[in-house]
């Protein structure tokens, strides 16, 4: 799915240049074989245009659905991040000695606030990591060019840079 306003010629050639080349070679071979009389098949234009129109509608609807899902996910994640900021401000404002029966030192109060906020940040990272797990139908499970591009984007956006199995001692350091 393309979600940017435009796509450059270089990016287009990087993604589909090899497909264009082998399809061009195949079509040139078929045209040559037809020209020399080796192939005698004639296709009417009507079925080709009807199938092309149907495929265009299908791809358009799929792209629209993908964009809607991506936009909805961005809104939900943005809401989670904004609510987390609000929660952090509430922790800072409400975790005080004001109504406490057992008063604690200011340093201990700051440590409690810090621990609560860090735990929430850890939950956010765990949630983000779980949401970024690749499913079997995504490009990361493919091989070749698509897998390399998917791996590049994973590294660019920080997916998979932290092992899932992190021990308590590693978290303390």
Give me the pLDDT at residue 16, please.
86
Q: Would you place residue 136 in the very low, low, confident or very high pLDDT band (cuts 50, 70, 90)?
A: low
* CB within 8 Å of 103: residues ≥ 6 apart: 97
In three-state secondary structure terms, 167 is coil
Q: H helices within 4-136, ranges in order?
A: 9-35, 45-94, 106-131
**Residue 173 reports pLDDT greater than 90:** no
Distance (Å, rounded) from C-alpha 55 to C-alpha 61? 10
Instruction: Give the three-state DSSP class for 105.
Output: coil
Task: Write out pLDDT tens, residues 62-100.
Answer: 888 888 988 898 899 999 999 999 999 999 999 999 888
In degrees, to the nearest 5, what angle opens at C-alpha 95 toward C-alphas 91 and 96?
Answer: 145
- CB–CB of 116/91 below 8 Å? yes
**99 or 53, which is more confident?**
53
The predicted structure's pLDDT at residue 118: 94
Q: What is the mean pLDDT of the chain?
A: 83
Q: Is the pLDDT of residue 113 over 90?
A: yes
């Amino acid at each position: 799915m393309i979600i940017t306003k435009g796509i450059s010629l270089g990016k287009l050639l990087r993604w589909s240049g090899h497909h264009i080349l082998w399809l061009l070679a195949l079509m040139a071979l078929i045209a040559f074989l037809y020209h020399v009389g080796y192939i005698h098949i004639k296709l009417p234009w009507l079925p080709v245009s009807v199938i092309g129109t149907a495929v265009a509608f299908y791809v358009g609807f799929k792209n629209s659905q993908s964009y809607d899902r991506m936009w909805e996910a961005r809104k939900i994640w943005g809401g989670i991040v904004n609510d987390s900021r609000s929660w952090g401000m509430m922790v800072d404002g409400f975790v005080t000695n004001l109504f406490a029966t057992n008063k604690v030192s200011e340093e201990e109060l700051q440590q409690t606030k810090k621990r609560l906020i860090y735990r929430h940040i850890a939950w956010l990272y765990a949630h983000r990591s779980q949401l970024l797990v690749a499913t079997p139908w995504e490009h990361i499970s493919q091989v070749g060019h698509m897998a390399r591009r998917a791996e590049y984007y994973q590294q660019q956006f920080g997916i998979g840079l932290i092992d899932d199995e992190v021990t308590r001692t590693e978290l303390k350091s």
